[in-house]
Amino acid sequence: MIVKNERMRKLCVPVVVNLLLGVPAIVPLFLAWYILANGPLAAIGWTMQDPNENDGMLLWLVIAAPVFCLFGLVWGLINAWLRRRTQVRGSRYWPVCAAASIAPFLMIFGLL
């Protein structure tokens, strides 16, 4: 029991860092949802396309691609650096950190 708590305690710093990274992650996650909701999901009938969204998907991809790449690069570099310094298996580290990064988005949009 003590060993398990000690391992989980080692994840405290990465979880806090990923919660903080989750705040700016709201922007790329919202862009991803907006693109999916007005593109492929609307095409198959799962969502309703915004009636004012008639400029096509290229404009959104031009706006969203740099945001996705920049955030992904920052998130990946910080987590790779933290992963090397955290004495926890990768199979435990990556899912916990990904969930911590998505949590602020889910809280704001009421999905959690």
Asked if residues 105 and 25 have their Cβ atoms less than 8 Å apart, the reply is: yes
pTM (predicted TM-score): 0.81
Question: What tens-digit pLDDT sequence spans the chain (112 residues)?
Answer: 445 566 667 789 999 999 999 999 999 999 998 888 888 888 898 988 878 777 777 877 788 999 999 999 999 999 999 999 988 888 899 999 999 999 999 999 876 5
Exposure pattern of 19-41 as b/e (b: 16+ CB <10 Å)?
bebbebbbebbebeeebebbbee
Q: With the CA atoms of 5, 106, 86 and 13 taken in that order, what torsion angle do they form, in degrees rounded to the nearest 10?
A: -80
Tell me the three state secondary structure of residue 17: helix
CA distance 62 to 8: 40
